[in-house]
Amino acid sequence: MTERTIITVDGPRTADHTLEGQGLFLDGDRAAPHPARFTYTDADQSLTIATPDGPIQWPYADIRALRDQSTDETLILRLNTDPTARLLVTNSDDQHLTRARAKQIHRAPKTAHRGRLMAWALAAVASVALIIFVLVPLMADQLAEYLPPAGEKALGDATFDQIRNALDDTGFTGIAICDAPEGRAALAKIETRLTDELVLDTPLTVHVLDHPMVNAFALPGGYVVFFRGLLDEAARPEEVAAVFAHEIGHVAARDPTRIALRSAGSIGVLGLLLGDFAGGAVVLFLAERIIQADYTQDAEAAADTFAHRVLLDADLPPSAIGTFFERLAEGRDDGIGLIDHFMSHPALGDRIAAARAAEPPNAEFRPILTETEWRALQAICD
Amino acid sequence: MTGTAPSDGLKTEFAGQRPRLFKLALVASFWTVLSLGFYRFWMKTRLRRWYWSAIRPGGLPLEYVGDPFEKLLGFFMAVVIMAFYIGIVNLILMFASLSLFATNFTAYAASLIGVIPIWFFARYRARRYVLARTRWRGVRFGLEPGAWGYAGRALWHWLITILSAGLLWPRKTFFLEKYRTDRTVFGSITLHQGGEWTMLMPAFVHVIVAGCATAVAGGAVAIGNPTVPWVGIVAVPYLIYGIIHYTVEAKRILANHKTAGDISLTAVPRIGTITRIYIFGYLATVLICLLPVIPITVLLGVIEMQKSSGLYDPTIDTTSIYGIPTTVWTALGIFAYFAVLLLWSVLRHCFVTMPLWRHYAQTLSIENPEALVTVSQKQRDDFREAEGFAEALDLWGAI
């Protein structure tokens, strides 16, 4: 053991003879390394390096070692405040002596722009929010008005397939479309009765999906889709007709086209933020959003008013929608789908009342389906 | 030469051992998984510091001075811009595609094609960032701005390559490398890529021959006439070898034609060594990665066997298997999944990336190093966005 290593064990001392070391100095300006002697000046707690441009002083407290190096053979020193100059120390005694004195050697050197980082992080979140919640909906609403019927149909076809696949827990085929001929005939009878007096841009495409959710929804291009759960839950065919009329109202107003265009814009942005591992979840989330379509209160009210008029024109009672909601709200506390959606809507009571008010006193109604047809419709998935 | 004796050139050393890299990569990957990917900016920085410090031309290590925070910042900046592109542009594309063609496929295709120039742009910017944060002998490297120029040329050369059925691939390699090299600086000197694109053609012959053989074999199978299956068996490995051969040879030839003032490079990488590293490196990586999967596979096999022989009836208790709750089994499955992911990235560093870098480093030397004394520092390239676009587009690269 040399005299110098013994001193490191004792810690720095103010010796009358100075301790010296040998290193390689890079001034951070020229690509030329200079062998340099350096002196431990414990009196003023600094390292004095003899460079070709004269001696420079590095305070012990400001000396840092480069981190995550591939080997301990070379200790590379820098100054906290100087980003470029380096001192390479290869002698292990010199390395020990330096470590014993420069107590902050393992700390990270100072870097700037932490404040800017926060600003950009906020900007990233804000711009994503702005695009998803403001710009994309705004543009989607405008563009939906100009989409030609064929384009709307294509969008509806794609979305319909996506929803069927997203709701299928087990297989790869998507949940089944129910098409028992008698049931389809009954459904067609309701459709004819409702649309007889109507002029629609696109013909309707009506499907029943084999899923227990108590819900119905509309898609771009004239799609009106019921889940089996809704047919099971309805007490009378008039209630199905009332929901049907409401969904036709959304189709006529092109509400689903707006929602679908919005998803087209938002899906990629969410994917960008979350990365690929969340890709599947994003699709599921968007499919869910289209089904539980969060239309504005105005759009819902307009679809209701539309439904009232269509139902009256077809000699059907608008109040049927009210009785359907009421029974769902009373009868089940595990209500899923439609009832959740409408219950979360503050105006549900108003809507039931509006449906009642739309019905003129002493109005005469004709039944929509025979008892046999109604049973056939409820058995459409069997 | 002005009187000085000709030197033998600066040999490059590689001062790094597997255990240390393994520990660093393991710890960093672990934190990356745990932080849902956000630690990846730190992981990249730390791994680069390790690799750079291991590469020592003339005994003096490179230094990587990149900062993880600036990478995170760059990622956020890229998200701000990309979110706009992906949100608004995709919406308009979707509308146009539905209106004009009544399908949404055109929109997806257009959106994908639209990303390609940004991808090349991001590659150049990422390289510029890495070079700006690389130092040797205390002096910075750098890459002149020109990312859009690079993107344009990349598109052009790719188009030619595709139109020539891949035959002109070396032309693309050369001109893109020349564009990058001629804009690369080390302090006060600028690099230069000499030579012609045709000098890479001989190295490409194996790929052409193997490519044709593979196409013939593939075509024969496609028309239901696999009369010569051995052609495929020989052609595919030969094609893989051809690609490795070309990669190594192109690197070697291009390096030997790079100059910076009076300084030049000599590279002598060996194709056999590189091929060995790829084969045994990936073999070791895959085999060790399978270790966490083996116990689970064995267990599932045992359960299946008992089910079929009626020894085990899962319907008795659906909440547990062998008295252990199914949630624990699920947790074990997730653990194994992440263990494999983690091991894969860590072992690939130890058995593939590091040996490759070591070989390329040890076979590289710098001629006429005396001229380095005249090199002086370059202005710091305050490059705010770092490699944010490359991150946002998920261009991971080797490190």
Among candidates A17, A18, A260, which has minimal Cα distance to A162? Answer: A260
Confidence of residue A113 (pLDDT cuts 50, 70, 90): low
Q: CA of A28 to nearest chain B CA: how many angstroms apart?
A: 4
A162 occurs within a structural domain: yes
Q: Is A200 helix (H, G, I), strand (E, B) or coil?
A: coil
Contact B98 A151 (CB under 8 A): yes
Number of domains in chain B: 1
pLDDT at B7 over 70: no
Contacts of B85 (CB under 8 A, 6+ apart): B114, B118
Record: contact A147-B139, CB cut-off 8 A:
no
Taking CB atoms and an 8 Å limit, are B69 and A111 in contact across chains?
Answer: yes
d(Cα A120, Cα A130) in Å, to the nearest integer? 15
Mean pLDDT of B123-139: 90
Percentage of chain A beyond pLDDT 70 is 80
Q: Find out whether B180 and B150 touch, Cβ atoms under 8 Å.
A: yes
Q: Based on the number of CB atoms within 10 Å of its own CB, is B56 exposed (0-12), middle (13-18) or buried (19 or more)? A: buried
> In terms of CA atoms, which chain B residue is nearest residue A33?
B137
How many Å lie between the alpha carbon of B182 and the closest alpha carbon of chain A? 20
Question: Which pLDDT belongs to residue B173?
Answer: 96
Question: Do residue A70 and residue A131 come from a single domain?
Answer: no
CB contact under 8 A, B88 and A139: yes
Tell me which residue range forms the domain holding A66: 3-101
pLDDT of residue B6: 41
Q: Quick check: A268 and B86 CB within 8 A? A: yes
- Domain check: are A155 and A290 in the same one? yes
pLDDT at residue A99 greater than cutoff 80: yes
Q: Do A265 and B37 touch (CB under 8 A)?
A: no
Does A283 lie at the interface with B, CB-CB under 8 angstroms?
A: no
Q: How many residues comprise chain A?
A: 382
Do A196 and A313 have their domain in common? yes
Determine the average pLDDT of the residues in A207-236: 89
Q: Between helices A255-274 and A149-167, what is the axis angle to 10°?
A: 60
Residues of B in contact with A135 (CB under 8 A): 87-88
Contact between chains at A31 and B373 (C-beta distance less than 8 A): yes
Is A114 at the interface with chain B, CB within 8 A? yes
Q: Does residue B214 sit within a domain? A: yes
Chain A CB within 8 Å of residue B112 CB: no
Give the pLDDT band of residue A334 (cuts 50, 70, 90).
very low
The distance of B361 to chain A (nearest Cα, Å) reads 14
Calculate how close chain A gets to B92, using CA atoms only, in Å.
8
- Which chain B residues have a beta carbon less than 8 Å from that of A76? 53, 61, 63
**A108 inside 8 A of chain B by CB:** no
Nearest-5° Cα angle at A142, A138 to A147: 135
- Domain-terminating residue out of A69, A101, A133: A101
Q: Is the pLDDT of residue A119 over 50?
A: yes
Residue A152 is assigned to a structural domain of this protein: yes
Say yes or no: B316 contacts chain A, CB-CB below 8 A: no
How far is it, in rounded angstroms, from Cα B369 to Cα B202?
31
The whole-number pLDDT of residue A275 equals 46
**Could you write out the three-class secondary structure of A34-47?**
EEEEEEEECCCCEE
Greater confidence (A44 vs B387) lies with: A44
> What is the tens place of the pLDDT at every residue in A178-212?
989 999 999 999 999 998 878 887 889 999 999 88
Q: How many domains does chain A have?
A: 2
B/e letters for B81-97, b = 16+ CB within 10 Å, e = fewer, are: bbbbbbbbebbbbbbeb
Determine the pLDDT at residue A121: 78
The pLDDT of residue A53: 87
- Who wins on pLDDT, A114 or A37? A37
Q: What is the mean pLDDT of residues B363-379?
A: 86
Among residues B36, B44, B115, which one has the least CA distance to residue B74? B44
Any A CB within 8 A of B16 CB: yes
Nearest by CB: B137 against A31, A113, A148: A31
Pick the last residue of a domain from A51, A68, A101: A101
**Whole-number pLDDT of residue A95:** 93
Calculate mean pLDDT across residues B224-253.
85
CA distance B142 to chain A (A): 15
Residues A300 and A211 in one domain: yes
Pick the residue from chain A with its C-alpha nearest to B372: A31
Q: Has residue B230 got a pLDDT over 80?
A: no
- Say how many CB pairs under 8 Å bridge A and B: 184
B53–A69 C-beta distance less than 8 A? yes
Residues of chain A neighbouring B90 (CB-CB closer than 8 A)? 264-265, 268
* Same domain (yes/no): A12, A143: no
pLDDT higher than threshold 70 for residue A88: yes
Task: Tell me if chain A has a CB within 8 Å of the CB of B166.
Answer: no
d(CA B384, CA B396): 19
Q: Is B102 on the interface with A (CB under 8 A)?
A: yes
What residues 56-95 of chain B have any CB closer than 8 A to a CB of chain A? 60-61, 63, 65, 67, 69-70, 72-73, 76-77, 79-80, 82-84, 86-88, 90-92, 94-95
Contact A112/B at CB under 8 A: no
Cβ within 8 Å, pair A71-B17:
yes
Task: Fill in the amino acid letter for B337.
Answer: Y
Question: Would you say residue B214 has pLDDT above 80?
Answer: yes
* pLDDT number for residue B317: 56
Q: At what angle do helices A149-167 and A279-291 cross, to 10 degrees?
A: 110
Least confident interval from A41-50, A357-366, B182-191, B192-201:
A357-366
pLDDT, tens digit, for every residue of B174-194? 999 999 999 999 988 999 999
Torsion-angle region of B322 (φ positive above 0: left; ψ -120 to 50: alpha; else: beta): left
Q: Does residue B68 lie within any of the structural domains?
A: no
Q: Is B377 on the interface with A (CB under 8 A)?
A: yes
Cα gap A248→A302, rounded to integer Å: 11
- Residue B211 belongs to a domain: yes
- Based on the domain organization, do A129 and A94 belong to the same domain? no
Split at pLDDT 50, 70, 90, the class of B195 is very high
My answer on whether A34 and A87 are in the same domain is yes
Does the beta carbon of A146 lie under 8 angstroms from any beta carbon of chain B? yes
Question: For position A190, what pLDDT does the model report?
Answer: 92
Q: What is the mean pLDDT of residues B358-382?
A: 85
User: How much is the pLDDT for A43?
Assistant: 87
- Whether the pLDDT of residue A2 is over 60: the answer is no
Residue B126 lies in a domain: no
B20, B24, B52, B86: best to mutate for the A interface, most A CBs within 10 A: B86
> A126 lies in a domain?
yes
Instruction: Determine, yes or no, domain membership for A112.
Output: no
Q: What is the pLDDT of residue B99?
A: 82
Q: Using CB atoms, pick whichever of B73, B99, B138 lies closest to residue A116.
A: B73
Mean pLDDT (chain B, rounded): 84
Q: In angstroms, rounded to a whole number, what is the distance separating the alpha carbons of residues A216 and A227? A: 6
Q: Between chains, do A268 and B87 touch, taking CB under 8 Å as contact?
A: yes
What residue of A is the nearest CA neighbor of B38? Answer: A274
Whether A345 shows a pLDDT value over 70: the answer reads no
Domain boundary among A48, A67, A101: A101
Would the pLDDT of B263 be above 90?
Answer: yes
Does A275 contact B at CB distance below 8 Å?
A: yes
Is B247 part of a structural domain of the chain? yes
The confidence score (pLDDT) of residue A331 equals 52
Residue A96 and residue A131 in one domain? no
168-187 of A, contacting B, C-beta below 8 A: none
Closest-CA residue of B relative to A263 is B91
B127: distance to nearest CA of chain A, Å?
A: 21
pLDDT band (50, 70, 90) for residue A149: confident
Q: How far is CA B387 from CA A210, A271, B182, B397, in A?
A: 49, 19, 21, 12
Based on the domain organization, do A75 and A144 belong to the same domain? no
CA–CA min distance A164, chain B (Å): 18
Nearest to A67 among B17, B49, B83 (CB): B49
Range of lowest pLDDT (A134-143, A272-281, B378-387):
A272-281
- A106 falls within a domain: no
Q: Kindly list the distances between the CA atom of residue B71 and the CA atoms of A83, A118, A244, B65, B270, in Å, as whole numbers in the listed order.
A: 18, 13, 54, 12, 35
Q: Are residues A338 and A226 in the same domain?
A: yes
Model pLDDT, residue B4: 40
Q: Measured between alpha carbons, how far is B91 from A268 in angstroms, rounded to an integer?
A: 10
> In the prediction, which pLDDT does A253 show?
87
Mean pLDDT value across residues B265-271 = 95
CB atoms within 10 A of CB B44: 22
List of residues 6+ apart from A271 with CB closer than 8 A: A278, A279, A282, B86
Place of tokens 């034609």: B257
Question: Is residue B341 within 8 angstroms of chain A, CB to CB?
Answer: no
Tens-digit pLDDT profile for residues B34-91: 887 778 889 999 999 999 999 999 999 999 988 888 888 788 778 777 777 777 887 8
One domain, residues A202 and A286: yes
For residue A72, what are the contacts with CB-CB under 8 A and spacing of at least 6? A95
Task: Confirm whether A111 is domain-assigned.
Answer: no
Closest residue on chain A to B56 (Cα): A70
Beta bridge partners of A77: A65, A87
CB-CB under 8 Å, A146 with B99: yes
Q: Are residues A129 and A90 part of one domain?
A: no
B106 touches A: beta carbon within 8 Å? no
Per-residue HEC secondary structure of chain B comes to: CCCCCCCCCEEEEECCCHHHHHHHHHHHHHHHHHCCCCCHHHHHHHHHHHHHHHEEECCCCEEECCCHHHHHHHHHHHHHHHHHHHHHHHHHHHHHHHHHHCCCHHHHHHHHHHHHHHHHHHHHHHHHHHHHCEEECCEEEEECCCHHHHHHHHHHHHHHHHHCCCCCHHHHHHHHHHHHHCCEEECCEECEECCCHHHHHHHHHHHHHHHHHHHHHHHHHHCCCCCCHHHHHHHHHHHHHHHHHHHHHHHHHHHHCEEECCEEEEECCCHHHHHHHHHHHHHHHHHHHHCCHHHHHHHHHHHHHHHHCCCCCCCCCCCEECCEEHHHHHHHHHHHHHHHHHHHHHHHHHHHHHHHHHHHHHCEEEECHHHHHHCECCCCCCCCCCCHHHHHCCCCCCC
Mean pLDDT confidence for A62-72: 93
Residue pLDDT, tens place only, B310-361 = 665 555 555 666 666 777 777 777 777 788 888 898 999 999 999 999 999 9
C-alpha pair distances (Å), A333 with each of A85, A213, B4, B129, B248: 72, 14, 94, 59, 69
B209: in domain: yes
CATH number at residue A74: 2.30.29.30
**Residue A110 in this model has a pLDDT that exceeds 70:** yes
Q: Between residues B392 and A30, which one has the greater pLDDT?
A: A30
State mean pLDDT over B294-302: 78
Decide if B88 and A136 are in contact by the 8 Å CB cutoff.
yes
Flag whether residue A119 sits within 8 Å of chain B, measured between CB atoms.
no
B2–chain A nearest CA distance, Å: 19
Mean pLDDT, chain A, integer: 80
Q: What is the pLDDT of residue A286?
A: 56
pLDDT of residue A321: 82
CB contact under 8 A, A264 and B136: no
| B301: confidence class by pLDDT, cuts 50, 70, 90 | confident
Chain A, residues 67-96, CB within 8 A of chain B, namely: 67-71, 73-74, 76, 83-86, 88
pLDDT over 90 (residue B308): no
Parent domain of B220: 196-256
Nearest to B15 among A73, A264, A269 (CB): A73
